Structure 1
Amino acid sequence: MHQHHGDPTIPDFWGILSPGTLLITLVLAVLYFAVIGPWKDRIGGAGQSVQISQKISFVCGLLIYYLATGPVQAFAPLLFSAHMTEMALIYLAMPPLLLFGTPAWLIRPLWNGKKRERVLHFFTQPLITLILFNGFFSLYHLPVVFDTVMSYGWLMSLSHWVLTVSAFLMWWPVICPLPEKDHLSHLQKMAYIFGDGVLLTPACAIIAFSDVLLYSTYQGGSQVFSFLQPLDDQSLGGVAMKIIQELAYGGVLGYTFFQWVKKQRREDADELAARKKEKDTDVSSVSFNH
């Protein structure tokens, strides 16, 4: 994560490109395709295939990771709106894509062992995940907490990791890669996403509609764009977070709804086929008796 020491300067081309972050992203992509391809049999995925939609999803998740921690993060020490965009991409857009793209056999070993299973079971319960993520997120954006975190590099890294882990846990009940752990019905998942959106709104609204500068970290810094005053930048941060949240939640909500409709149609078709079979059996037995 970025550190706010002294007056940060506007990033140059290489600062925006972030070669280090680009390299990490490419290494992760190569690793992913090696694990689901040539190394699959050794890891316990023999005979299992990974759908094309999963591969696309995972790659999109990695792209978002690069954009957030590379080009967007380059402006984060200067612009609060860039900092908020980075957070929204990492916590709200990236985890569902990576979770959806991860095959079940790759994540299942995490649950091996009674103790570990108990801990993971507790931390993936819907109410716990909602409270943890939204609680941490709201706490982080209290001005006194935010400015303290921004003053220390290690504290910033720690809070970033805590929020990232809690974001993955928050998405787990909805995009569960393990069929045997996927306990929520489609309707419950939709209610969960709706609840999540409601809990996240106050923090975004306070930031977007505040008429005073909330964070001393972003006061008196160099202005990147002449048209973007510090207070407008702060409001833009709240709006950017809300827009990305709506897009991410809306996308997952839409996907969940279509999966639900598909399931209902399949059940209806099965029921119809069963009735038809029953009817045909009755007809044939009647004609046989005659």
Structure 2
Amino acid sequence: MHQHHGGFDFWSVISPGALILTILLGVLYFTLIGPWRRKWGYDESPSIWKQRGFVFALAVFYFASGPVSTFSHDSFSAHMMEMALVYMVVPPLILLGLPSWVYRPLWSTPRRAKVFRVLTFPLVTLICFNGFFSLYHLPVVFDAIMSSSILMAASHGFMGFAAFMMWWPITCPVPEKDTLNPVMKLGYIIGDSILITPACALIVFSDVLLYQSFQEAPVAFSFMSALDDQQMGAVVMKAIQEIAYGCVLGYTFYHWVKEHKRMEREEAETIRPRGEKGETPSTMAY
């Protein structure tokens, strides 16, 4: 069965293992975009904002897999917060934070390109992530996963992979592979938001404890009953999801407007020299 914590001490909350992993990932990232980039002859480097976003993603990852994870053994809302942060906040920032040359080897061979094209096809990514998320939160499946460390590691590994694939069509960090325009991305985000809603609604409106794994857990937060904690978990998941989608949508439209203005400026610059000569369409026609 799922093991609960009897109490929380300083080191269990700090989670040294998660902290060390996060630091190592940060060192690897700046080595990749610094010395290794120059060694391998790549010019492209992420903007300072993308670098800050990557660092923020690592901070969120540590917060979720360290301190929050400590409480997630006894609190369903903490468990859902951990999942929401790891699957809704971290992937888009990681994808955008890495330079595009990191991803281009995925298309280095026709077979590899075909596989990756299928894995990132919008309909496939929506069904895989949201379908597994809903399946994961069925009480019988959830309790089975929580009772086995092997099943838990496998399920979270698969869901993490599915989350990155789900975010790819929206945040696609390789410009020539970005096949969705802003309107299509809006539809994708709306579809994603709708597909995840049934699982959250099932938990929010349930008037009984759904998961055996948390029925015998010690009270992690004295100000909430176990049922309130369960309902709060779904609210937390949905709220973080909507905030993440809103931020990515804003980022997408910001760059769309920026690119649109750049194209208008270039078009105006190509027309201006002809206008400066005083020529009119009627005289030019002759």
Which TM-score band (shorter chain)? over 0.9
Query: Partner residue of 1:22?
Result: 19
Quick one: distance in 1 between partners of 2:41 and 2:57? 24
Q: CA deviation at 1:284?
A: 8.7
State how 1:51-200 maps to structure 2 within 5 Å. Answer: 51-200=47-196
Q: CA deviation at 1:42?
A: 3.3
Matched, 1:4 2:2: yes
Query: Partner residue of 1:252?
Result: 248
Preserved CA contact (<8 Å) 1:58 1:98: yes
Quick one: distance in 2 between partners of 1:180 and 1:286? 40
Quick one: distance in 2 between partners of 1:285 and 1:68? 64
Q: CA deviation at 1:268?
A: 3.0
Number of aligned residues: 284
Output the aligned Cα RMSD.
Answer: 2.0
Aligned AA for 1:4?
A: H
Q: CA deviation at 1:109?
A: 1.8
Q: CA deviation at 1:44?
A: 4.7
1:230-273 deviations in Å (ceiling 9; x for gaps): 00000110010011101100100111122222223233333333
Preserved CA contact (<8 Å) 1:193 1:249: yes
Aligned AA for 1:252?
A: V
Note the residue ranges of structure 1 that are not aligned, 5 or more in a row. Answer: none
Q: CA deviation at 1:115?
A: 1.7
Preserved CA contact (<8 Å) 1:78 1:223: yes
Aligned AA for 2:23?
A: L
Q: CA deviation at 1:95?
A: 0.1
Larger mean CA deviation between 238-247 and 192-201 belongs to 192-201
Quick one: distance in 2 between partners of 1:43 and 1:216? 53
Aligned AA for 1:121?
A: R
Preserved CA contact (<8 Å) 1:18 1:70: yes
Quick one: distance in 1 between partners of 2:182 and 2:273? 29
Quick one: distance in 1 between partners of 2:223 and 2:84? 23
Aligned AA for 1:196?
A: D
Preserved CA contact (<8 Å) 1:10 1:78: no
Partner-residue secondary structure (3-state), 1:184: coil
Partner-residue secondary structure (3-state), 1:260: helix
Preserved CA contact (<8 Å) 1:213 1:231: yes
Aligned AA for 1:180?
A: E
Quick one: distance in 2 between partners of 1:286 and 1:221? 84
Larger mean CA deviation between 143-152 and 268-277 belongs to 268-277
Which TM-score applies when normalising by structure 2? 0.93
Partner-residue secondary structure (3-state), 1:174: helix
Query: Partner residue of 2:29?
Result: 32
Aligned AA for 1:124?
A: T
Which TM-score applies when normalising by structure 1? 0.92
Quick one: distance in 1 between partners of 2:267 and 2:181? 20
